[in-house]
Amino acid sequence: MGWPLERLRRVRFVRRFSRTERTLHWVNAAGFLLLLASGLILYLPRLSVLVGRRPLIKDVHLWGGIGWIGALAIVVLLGDRRGILRTARELEVLEPSRFNVGQKVNALLNAAFALLFLVSGLLLWFGERDTRFRFTSTVLLHDILMYAALTLLVGHLYLAVIHPATRHSLRGMTRGTVREDWAKRHYPRWAPPPAD
């Protein structure tokens, strides 16, 4: 008797994401999903008719976009800035470490997309008020970004929530820790700090 306790004792956890990293991720995800939903309502004629209230949805989309980037900046400014800088440096080098190559490419693309979404979105907004800011391909860029970001998101959600081998990662993004044996198997080159 007593073996379940033994087994429980052997399950050790290591720290995967700091509080700042997790806050940044979830603020980013919430903002992105709000913009995706409001953007799709503006973009798809059927949804547009179904929901109506176009001026309101447009306001939600515009201020949601500004709020999204602003909220990310606030999390970085008030959070563990050094830790975020360390993570950014880790992501710059494509060799696997705490993240595999796919995750690094995903993170870099997400950062580039956020910037391009912001620039093209602001140009669309200014363009409505001043013809000097009107360019023929701004709408196209904004739309292509949406398709690309949506494709990445579907893959990301599959790995984070459905795929049996990888979905344990969700614990890292919610509680901050993952099982040590899982970490060793998935990230052999990562030397994780123990969970406190």
User: Does 20 contact ligand HEM by CB under 6 A?
Assistant: no
- The residue range among 41-49, 69-77, 104-112, 115-123 that interacts with ligand HEM, by the rule CB under 6 A, is 104-112
What is the residue-wise DSSP string for 71-117?
A: HHHHHHHHS-HHHHHHHHHHHHS-S-SSS-HHHHHHHHHHHHHHHHH
Residue 177 interacting with ligand HEM (CB under 6 A): no
In the bound complex, what is the minimum distance in angstroms from residue 5's beta carbon to ligand HEM?
28
Quick one: tokens of 154?
A: 């579907």
* Closer Cβ to ligand HEM, 18 or 103, answer by number: 103
Interface pick for ligand HEM out of 106, 120, 138, 177 (rule CB under 6 A): 106
Stretch that binds ligand HEM, among 43-51, 73-81, 101-109, 128-136 (CB under 6 A): 101-109
CA-closest candidate to residue 43, choices 54, 56, 34, 32? 54
Instruction: Provide the 10 A C-beta neighbour count for residue 188.
Output: 8
- Cβ–Cβ < 8 Å for 98, 107: no
Start-to-end C-alpha separation, the chain: 29
Judged by CB, which is closer to ligand HEM: 65, or 172? 172
| Shortest Å distance, C-beta 4 to ligand HEM | 27
- Pick between residue 43 and residue 133 the one whose CB is nearest to ligand HEM: 43
CB of 176 to ligand HEM, least distance (A): 11
DSSP 8-state code for residue 193: P
- By CB under 6 A, tell whether 65 contacts ligand HEM: no
**Which residue do the tokens 């975020």 mark?**
84
Give the three-class secondary structure for 130.
Answer: coil
If one asks whether residue 173 binds ligand HEM (CB under 6 A), the answer comes out as yes
Residue 156's identity, in one-letter code, is H
Of 6-14, 48-56, 133-141, 151-159, the segment contacting ligand HEM by CB under 6 A is 151-159
Q: What is the DSSP letter of 194?
A: B
Residue ranges that bind ligand HEM, judged by CB under 6 A: 16, 25, 28-29, 32-33, 99, 103, 106-107, 110, 153, 156-157, 160-161, 169-170, 172-173
